[in-house]
Structures are given as structure tokens and as C-alpha cells.
Amino acid sequence: MCAMWRLQVAFCTLSVLSVSSGGESKARSCSDVRQAYNAKGFSLVNAPHQEISGEHLRVCPQGYTCCTSEMEDKLHQQSKLEFENIVEESSHNMRTTFVSRHKKFDEFFLELLDNSEKSLNTMFTRTYGKLYMRNSEVFQDLFTELKRYYTGGNVNLEEMLNDFWSRLLERMFQLLNSQYHFTEDYLECVSKYTDQLKPFGDVPRKLKAQVTRAFIAARTFVQGLMVGREVANRVAKVNVNPACIKALTKMLYCPYCRGLPGLKPCHNYCHNVIRGCLANQADLDTEWNLFIDSMLLVADRLEGPFNIEAVIQPIDIKISEAIMTMQDNSMQVSAKVFQGCGQPTPLGKGRSTRGISDVFSGRFRPYTPEERPTTAVGTSLERLRVVWRTMQHSVIDIKVKLKESRRFWSKLPDDICARGKLTESDEEQCWNSHGKGRYFPEVVKEGLTNQLNNPEVDVDITRPDTLIRQQIMALRVMTNKLKNAYNGNDIYFQDASDEGSSSSGSGSECTDGCTTEFIFLTTKAPEIRADKSDVHAAAAAAGKSFCRGPSTLLVLSSLVFLLWAMQTHWR
């Protein structure tokens, strides 16, 4: 009996001690949480000093907690802001790479063109004197159109170069036959003989092939840098949905509510949350990688066969050679033109009847690189070489940075969840969504469709993000354009000036508010014999929606024409 009584006393004592111990745990201090909460910039007015009952919590585990409803709401918003900042910071280096490299390449290329024009102007003034100065607008227009093409203008390079040689033929023909009077109609007839007579020899054909390939590659490359910049900037401004914010709050700030503000998330736990939040961004990766690979191919072209220096630096020599060829063949050319266009009217008495030798005064002669002076012209040429070498180094640097950006979007969760940065390296001493301990669920793969079984984020895999799909299409179209440029073919952008707007600088100053439109019109490099079906197939791969309308219109137009022809025939 006595033993029984002693056992009851011991049991009651243990019960009292247990109740006392439980009371002490419930009254655990929230001082560390208050300090961490205040460090985030929040007021401590409603922050409890000790744990309170947590049935009011909507995101964090309910139980005794250091968070009020107001605190949980503020931490909920803080999670969203911090995640947006984390994504922007993680993509900062990659985005600035496109911004800075685009700016540098653009500046170098335009400076290269400016120096080339100055070099030609100085050399031709020295070599041909007043004859050149009186006709300098022909050459100025050539460089103006080259710049307009590069900066995004709707210029057909092949037609523009043909027009240059036609205009040069008209001017040369008048100089070589200064004893005649030529009307505008007659000169137009003369220009039609450019291809047939080949008055400038083979120079126009070779120069056209070189200029077309080099400028297509350069313009497409700088536009690719612009598209990469715009896509990266838009995707970095992540659209955080409610399910993601809830998961982020649970991962980042529920430790606060449990009185463990210094406890970091487990590594695998972080991966599931971030992969769920960035599921759509990861789907950008496939098209992004194809885009980067195409950029690298065009960069190789700029360093090799489509080397812009090989076109720009000797352009004055090549044009001078063409002029000399025209002078040497002037008698034959004039005779054939007179035969085809008719005998021109001789100038009246008292008007100039100077011969060829009088017109050129022995000054219309070719020059060689060895004859180039070492004064102002030499300085200009040296500057041209310096700019080109700098541009070459810029292309090499861009290639390195482009390679580093491959698989960027699929690797972004890895970067964000880097051990020691956001997560705890010790898998036993980390926050696992409920408390301190190992995180057991498997890590899901990246991409939208793989989030069906994500244990942390409720992702609707049936509703892809519209913005991301738009960027995928933009990359797909740009990749197609780069592939065409690699083969020497051009698919160019709609010229902003055609829409009644004006722009300055390169044609790549698109802001976040503008939409880049693509018009699939091609300028084919003269020496490239690509099958047209390949170009159309490539365009179709970029998006059938771009091609369906024009194709249907073409078919309908053909049918209407056929019916009209049949009706006319039977009449």
C-alpha cells in the first residue's frame, strides 16, 4: 500500500514537471526573430516577444510561432520582392554582356565605315582631283546606303550596288564622251547596258559578293546581340504567381515563424521550389541554345570568309581599278552604246569638244597601296586598321561570353540555390519546409511539363507563360535569320522608317515598349547558289503563322489571273 502511494506521488511529480517544462517551451523567446525581422526594415510594434499560438497562420506550419498574421503577410511580400531581385541579379552579368558587347560592336563597325569613307574621299581627291569632287555624291550615297542597311534600313544590297555602278557608268560615259550632249532618257538607256557590256570588268561582281556577305553577317550579328539583350531583359523580369510566392515564403521565412531565423533551406528543397517558380524560363533554354550556337557560327564568318576588313579597306582600290577598266575600254563601250541607244547629239560650236586626254589630264590613273601617303591619309588608314583590330578582339570576346551563356536558363535554379549562398551545405542542419532536418523528396527536372509532381509548388502545366512563348518565337526567328546570314542570305527586319517613325544610331535601339517585326524578304549573296526552297523551309520553321497569309494570297492571285486569261482566250 505504501509502495503504491509512493508510485502515485512520483507520477504526479513527473506530471507537474512535464507541465512546467511545456509551459517554458511555449514561452520561448522570439528575440532572435524580432532582431532578424527588424533587419529587414519592418516595425517591431506588433512583433511578439514570446511564441504565441499559430492557428492564424496561412502559409507556415501552425503551432507555437513568433509570427502574427501581419508579419506573415509582410514576409509573404518580401519573398516575392527578394525572388525578383535574385533572378535579376543572377542574370545581371549575362544581360550586361549583351548590352555592352552590342554597343561596342555597333560603335566599332560604324567607325570602320566612317574611316573607310574618309579614306576613299581623301585618296580619290588626291588622285582624281576635281573630277572626283564634282561627282563625289555618287560615292557618298554608296556609303550612306551601306550605313542605312547596317543600321536596320530596308535596303536591298544587291540592287543598291547595281544602282551605284549604273550611276558611275553614266558619269564616266559623259566624261569620256564630253563632246556630246546627253539627255536623261539617253543616260537611262546607257545604264541598261551595265550588265551586258561589263564596262568595269569583273570588279562589280566580286565586290557585290564580298559586300553582300560581309554586311549581311555584320548586320545580322549586331541584331542578334540586340535580340539576345531584349529577350534576357524581358525574361529576367519574372512574373511570380501566387503558388510560387507561397512556396518561396515557406522556404525563406517560415523558419522565422518557427523561431529559427538563421536556418537556411536544404539544397534539394530549394531546387524544387525554384524549378517550380522558373518552370517556364527553363523551357526557353532549347531555343536559347540554338540561338547562341547560330551567333557563334556568324561570329566565325566575321573572323573568316566574311571578314569585313577584306571588303572595307581595299574598296577605294577596287573602285579605282573599275574606273581604269572603263577608261581602257571606253572606245568599245561607247560604240556599243551608240549602236544600242542611238547616236547622241554633238555639242554646238563654242561648246566644249575636249577629248578624253584633255578631260582626264593624265590624272585618271590607278594607284597602289604603296603610293598611299603617310600624312593625313596614312593616318586615316592606320586608324582604320586600329579600329578593325579592336573590332576583331571584340568579336573574340563576344564569342567567349556567348559560350558562357549556353544553358543559362536551365542552370539558373542551380545558380540561385548554390550551396552556402542561399542554402545550407549541411543536409542535416537545414530547413526542410517543416523543421530542421534532411529533405527527403526527390528533385524534379527543369521545365514546365516536369512540374506535374513537384512537391513544393503547385504548377499548372496546361497554361504556359505567354511572355516566355513570345520570347521563344523571337529567338526562333532570329536563329533562322542567323542561319541564313551564315550562308550569305539575308532575311531583314521591317524598316522603322517605312512605318513613319524615325530613329538614330543603329537600328537596334528597341525599347521594352516596342515589338520587333520580321519581314521575310531575301537578299541572296551573288556567289551563293542556295536553293530557294531551303530559304522558304527555314522561314517556315521559324513559325508557320508568318508564311500562311502570303502563301494563300499568292494562290488566290494565281487563280484569279488564270480565270481572267481563260476568259480572254474564249472571247
pLDDT, tens digit, for every residue of 269-303? 999 999 999 999 999 999 999 999 999 999 998 88
Note the pLDDT of residue 239: 86
544 and 447 in a common domain:
no
| Angle at which helices 376-404 and 92-128 cross, to 10° | 160
Q: Answer whether residue 60 is part of any domain.
A: no
Q: What is the DSSP letter of 233?
A: H
pLDDT beyond 90 at 306: no
- Nearest CA to 305 among 217, 221, 223? 217
Tens of pLDDT, residue by residue over 360-402, are 443 444 444 444 443 434 455 566 567 666 767 778 888 998 9
526/445 Cα distance (integer angstroms): 48
Task: Give the domain range for residue 542.
Answer: 531-571
Same domain (yes/no): 312, 443: yes
Whether 189 is covered by a domain: the verdict is yes
Please indicate, yes or no, whether residues 277 and 342 belong to a single structural domain of this protein: yes
Answer yes or no: are the C-beta atoms of 225 and 32 closer than 8 Å. no
User: What pLDDT does residue 127 have?
Assistant: 86
Least trusted range by pLDDT, from 13-17, 66-70, 188-192: 13-17
Distances (CA, A) of 207 to 119, 507, 531: 18, 24, 22
Torsion (CA) 334, 337, 338, 339 in degrees, nearest 10: 120
**63 in any annotated domain:** no
Same domain, 146 and 258: yes
Residue 61 within any structural domain of the chain: no
Instruction: Check residues 524 and 347 and name the one with the higher pLDDT.
Output: 347
Is position 58 within any domain? no
Helix (H, G, I), strand (E, B) or coil at 527: coil
57 belongs to a structural domain: no
Non-local (6+) Cβ contacts of 570 within 8 A are: none
Q: Say yes or no: 324 and 443 in one domain.
A: yes
- Asked whether residue 344 falls in the same domain as residue 230, the answer is yes
Q: Which helix (H) or strand (E) holds 208?
A: helix 203-236
Residues 447 and 542 in one domain: no
Confidence class of residue 562 from pLDDT cuts 50, 70 and 90? very low
- Please tell me whether residues 492 and 387 are part of one structural domain: yes
- Per-residue pLDDT band for 530 (boundaries 50, 70, 90) equals very low
- In the prediction, which pLDDT does 385 show? 63
Assess whether 44 and 99 both reside in one domain: no
| Closest to 356 in 3D by CA, of 158, 567, 536, 176 | 176
> Are 122 and 377 a contacting pair, CB within 8 Å?
yes
CB of 258 closer than 8 Å to CB of 250:
no
Residues 183 and 283 occupy one common structural domain: yes
Average pLDDT (111-118) is 86
pTM tops 0.85 = no
pLDDT at 355: 45
Q: Please name the amino acid found at residue 323.
A: I
Q: Is the domain of 483 the same as that of 522?
A: yes
Confidence of residue 85 (pLDDT cuts 50, 70, 90): very high
Place of cell 504548377: 459
Q: How many domains would you assign to the chain?
A: 3
Residue 490 is predicted with a pLDDT of 79
E strand segments, 248-297: none
Greatest mean pLDDT among 14-18, 212-216, 419-423 lies in 212-216
Min mean pLDDT across 295-309, 316-330, 474-488, 520-534 is at: 520-534
- Half-sphere exposure in the Cβ direction for 221 (13 Å, CA): 32
Q: What is the mean pLDDT of residues 154-160?
A: 91
Share of the chain above pLDDT 90, in %: 50
More confident residue, 198 or 14: 198
Model confidence at 128, in pLDDT bands (50, 70, 90)? confident
Same domain, 524 and 554: no
Report if residue 464 sits inside a domain.
yes
What is the pLDDT, as a whole number, of residue 519? 38
For residue 526, what pLDDT band results from cuts at 50, 70 and 90? very low
pLDDT for position 152: 87
* 22-36, 111-125, 133-147, 336-350 — most confident range: 133-147
**Averaged over 514-529, what is the pLDDT?**
41
Residue of 478, 56, 101, 31 whose CA lies nearest to 259: 31
Cα distances (Å, whole numbers) of residue 355 to 128, 325, 343, 415, 522: 17, 18, 17, 77, 45
| Confidence check: pLDDT of 203 > 70 | yes
In a domain, 112, yes or no: yes
Mean pLDDT over the full length of the chain: 79
The secondary structure of 366-426, three-state, reads: CCCHHHCCCCHHHHHHHHHHHHHHHHHHHHHHHHHHHHHCCCHHHHHHHHHCCECCCEECC
pLDDT class of 443 with cuts at 50, 70, 90 = very high
